[in-house]
């Protein structure tokens, strides 16, 4: 039986930041969006959770669907939910991160991702939604941890 409430409800998504250390430096996995909003813009892989799946399972599913990447251990990083982060409406995103090896770094854009590619953390383009902030927060943490 569906529930209806008079109160508005936010949408819930997952975003996934995967890093890999290549010979030429640390890179992050980005996708080029195939659909609006931000069609053709670069973004982190991710998408909406399904009603009957665990949030972490959504992250693994979206990562594989959009990039073909599997065999990565994901850790929950942070939740982002500022109003206005998504032009489709109030959206809260649970962000996961992980690292993979160069041997497990073959990716290909699929599903609603036109492309998937590794980008140096020193040359990240402007990203869709608030993904630039998410990546900046993650990279700051990675640098702090590597300095300690």
Domains of the chain: 11-147 (3.90.79.10)
pLDDT tens figures, 85-133: 999 999 999 999 999 999 999 999 999 999 999 999 999 999 999 999 9
Question: What value does the mean pLDDT of the chain take?
Answer: 96
pLDDT at 2 over 80: no
Q: Specify the residue for token string 């995967």.
A: 18
Distance CA 5, CA 75 (A): 33
What value does the mean pLDDT take over residues 66-75? Answer: 98
CB neighbours of residue 58 within 10 Å: 21
Pick 148 or 139 by higher pLDDT.
Answer: 139
Q: Assess whether pLDDT exceeds 70 at residue 32.
A: yes
d(CA 18, CA 92): 20
């Amino acid at each position: 039986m569906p529930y209806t409430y008079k109160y508005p409800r936010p949408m819930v998504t997952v975003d996934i930041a995967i890093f890999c250390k290549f010979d030429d430096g640390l890179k992050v996995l980005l996708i080029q969006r195939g659909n609006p909003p931000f069609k053709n813009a670069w973004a982190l892989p991710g998408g909406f959770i399904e009603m009957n799946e665990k949030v972490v399972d959504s992250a693994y599913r979206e990562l594989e669907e959009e990039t073909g990447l599997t065999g990565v251990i994901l850790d929950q990083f942070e939740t982002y939910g500022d109003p206005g982060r998504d032009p489709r409406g109030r959206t809260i995103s649970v962000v996961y991160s992980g690292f993979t090896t160069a041997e497990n770094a073959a990716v290909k854009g699929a599903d609603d991702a036109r492309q998937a590619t590794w980008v140096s953390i020193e040359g990240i383009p402007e990203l869709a939604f608030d993904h630039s902030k998410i990546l900046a927060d993650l990279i700051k943490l990675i640098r702090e941890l590597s300095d300690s």
